[in-house]
Every structure is written in structure tokens, then in C-alpha cells.
């Protein structure tokens, strides 16, 4: 399955690159944080190095007068290197960021107030080391197929795209003790807002995903347990990205991400990253 998915994604990307009249945007960035202390430093602090490599790609095209295709690819990988407080020796690096996120959406531009759409999304990571001694490549994976209605509001300085529809998810997780497979289906809302603020010096992106499951393939196994109704809770993913270039190739990013998934954690999870790094516009 993994090989098939990777092959399909690569073929789609090659088709985009070889096609004509595609609007293509892509950028790469290397974000870096570092702390260092002298041997006679009075305190318990220790040195650390954190780096993250990001890739963001967009390819879209009006295929026919009534069909628009939009493809996005987001890749991220980073590690943290820490120094022992006592010996000052550097430990083996630990993964801090790992993301593969590809989505392709067909929107049928019929000229009505809303447009029908169909979308496919694949989420994974480069490697899974959650089980010691059993590292898996491209694991776990989540596939989402959705269809419904979409609406785009666009002005000169901002764009808001929204869509609402049915979604079906498949979760594939290869563990040391076997293969975990779960399917569910429900209703999904996706809203994405882009704009430039502070006299176009700062770009801002906010993306909100709400998902309410109505069916879960493991519901019978969970019946009678404390987690019986956890899958029925609405999942929330809200990401905000502020980005500005302080020089031609130098960028500052502030990213916040809020995730609420009761099957994973009873409380909401929050991540904030402020980083300085190099960026390069490929297209």
C-alpha cells in the first residue's frame, strides 16, 4: 500500500511539473536555533541545537472551463541535539519535526454560488521511532477522501476558501506486534485564510479543520470501555503562520498549532515555534 501511495503521489507531481500553464509555487527554508555555554558557566543550562527543513509546494490549474485542480505538498523534518549537563557530551539527535502532507482537490466551477468538490489527502511522516528498536519508514499513514461544496472569497489583499462535506478516513499503522487498521466517516469543514499585514511586510495564514466522525470501525471493540464515545468528539486542528523576510534570503517565522483529538489526548495539544532561518523561492 505504501509503495502504491508513494508512486501515485510522485506521478501526480511529475504530471504537474511537465504540464503546461500550471501555476506553480514552491519554497524551501532551513530554520536554526542554537544555545552554547562555556565550561565555567554558573547554572544547570546545557547547549542545544535545533534545526528544521521545510518545503511548501503549490500547483494549480483550470483544467477545463468547469474543472479546477489544486495540489499542495508540505514537507517538514527537524532534529534537536542536546548536550549533557554534567559531562557536556552531545547526545544522539532526537526528532523534533516530521511531516508529510499532500492534498489534491478537484473543484467544479459551474458558476453557481458554491462549487462541488472532491479531494484526496495523504498524511504521514518520514520515519516512526515510537517503538524502540522497530523504526518504520513512512508510518503511520492517514488517507482522507472528501466531497461536498466549496466557496472561495477573494479580494486584492486576502483570500478565504471554505469547504464542507462528507469525509472518509483510513488509518494505517504498522506496529511491531502487527498491523493496526481503522476506518471512520463523518462531516468535515476546512477553512483557510491568507492575507498580508503591516503594509505587506508580514504574510499570515490561518487554517482550521473541524471533523465530526459519525462512524468508526472499532466502535464495537470500544463498547463498554471508558473510551467508548471518544471517537464521537469533534476533532479540531487550527494552525496559524506568521512569516516575514528581513533580508532577501532571511526569514522569521512564528507558527502556532492547536490540536484536539480526544482519542489521542483528553486535553488539547498546543505547539508554538519561533524561528530564524534561510529561505529560497524555487518557483
In-domain check, residue 283: no
pLDDT at 59: 92
pLDDT at 176: 52
Three-class SS state of 265 = coil
Which of 136, 150, 147, 155 lies closest to 98 in space, CA to CA?
136
Mapping DSSP onto H, E and C, the string for 74-114 reads EEEEEEEEEECCCCCCECCCEEEEEEEEEEEEEECCCCCCC
Q: How far is CA 91 from the centre of its chain?
A: 28
Cβ(16)–Cβ(10) under 8 Å?
Answer: no
In-domain check, residue 250: no
Cβ(117)–Cβ(107) under 8 Å?
Answer: yes
Q: What 8-state DSSP symbol labels residue 140?
A: S
In-domain check, residue 171: yes
Alpha carbons 96 and 224: distance in angstroms, whole number = 37
Number of domains in the chain: 1
Residues in CB range of 162: below 8 A, 6 or more apart: 150, 151, 152, 153, 189, 190, 191, 192
Q: Give the range of the structural domain holding residue 205, as residue numbers without chain letter.
A: 2-236
In-domain check, residue 107: yes
pLDDT at 274: 81
Q: Is the dihedral of CA 111, 67, 183, 14 positive or negative?
A: negative
In-domain check, residue 117: yes
pLDDT at 129: 84
Alpha carbons 150 and 21: distance in angstroms, whole number = 23
In-domain check, residue 74: yes
pLDDT at 60: 92
Which residues, in sequence order, are bridge partners of residue 27? 56, 281
In-domain check, residue 49: yes
pLDDT at 75: 95
Which of 256, 158, 240, 163 lies closest to 206 in space, CA to CA?
240
The model's pTM is 0.85
Alpha carbons 69 and 61: distance in angstroms, whole number = 5
pLDDT per residue as tens, the chain (283 positions): 454 555 555 555 555 555 568 888 898 988 877 766 566 555 566 678 888 999 999 999 999 999 999 999 999 999 988 877 666 677 788 898 999 999 999 999 998 999 999 999 999 999 888 777 778 889 989 999 999 999 999 998 899 999 999 999 999 888 655 556 789 999 999 999 999 887 778 899 999 999 999 999 989 888 989 999 999 999 999 999 999 988 888 888 899 999 999 988 888 899 888 888 888 777 7
Amino acid at each position: 500500500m505504501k509503495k502504491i501511495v508513494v508512486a501515485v503521489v510522485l506521478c501526480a507531481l511529475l504530471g504537474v511539473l511537465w504540464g503546461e500553464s500550471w501555476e506553480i509555487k514552491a519554497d524551501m527554508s532551513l530554520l536554526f536555533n542554537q544555545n552554547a555555554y562555556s565550561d565555567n558557566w554558573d547554572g544547570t543550562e546545557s547547549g542545544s541545537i535545533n534545526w528544521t527543513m521545510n518545503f511548501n509546494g503549490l500547483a494549480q490549474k483550470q483544467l477545463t472551463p468547469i474543472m479546477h485542480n489544486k495540489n499542495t505538498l508540505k514537507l517538514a523534518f527537524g532534529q534537536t541535539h542536546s548536550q549533557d549537563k554534567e559531562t557536556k557530551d552531545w547526545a544522539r539527535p532526537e526528532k523534533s519535526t516530521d511531516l508529510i502532507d499532500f492534498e489534491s482537490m478537484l473543484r467544479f466551477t459551474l458558476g453557481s454560488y458554491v462549487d462541488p468538490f472532491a479531494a484526496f489527502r495523504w498524511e504521514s511522516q518520514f520515519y516512526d521511532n515510537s517503538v524502540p528498536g522497530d523504526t518504520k519508514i513512512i508510518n503511520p499513514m492517514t488517507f482522507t477522501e472528501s466531497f461536498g461544496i466549496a466557496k472561495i472569497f477573494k479580494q486584492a489583499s486576502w483570500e478565504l476558501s471554505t469547504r464542507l462535506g462528507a469525509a472518509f478516513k483510513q488509518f494505517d499503522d504498522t506496529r511491531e506486534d502487527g498491523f493496526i487498521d481503522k476506518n471512520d466517516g463523518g462531516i468535515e469543514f476546512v477553512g483557510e485564510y491568507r492575507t498580508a499585514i503591516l503594509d505587506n511586510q508580514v504574510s499570515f495564514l490561518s487554517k482550521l479543520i473541524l471533523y465530526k466522525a459519525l462512524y468508526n470501525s472499532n466502535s464495537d471493540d470500544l463498547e463498554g470501555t471508558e473510551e467508548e464515545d471518544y471517537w464521537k468528539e469533534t476533532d479540531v486542528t487550527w494552525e496559524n503562520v506568521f512569516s516575514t523576510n528581513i533580508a532577501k534570503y532571511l526569514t522569521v517565522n512564528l507558527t502556532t498549532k492547536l490540536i484536539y483529538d480526544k482519542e489521542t489526548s483528553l486535553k488539547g495539544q498546543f505547539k508554538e515555534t519561533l524561528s530564524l532561518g534561510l529561505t529560497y523561492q524555487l518557483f
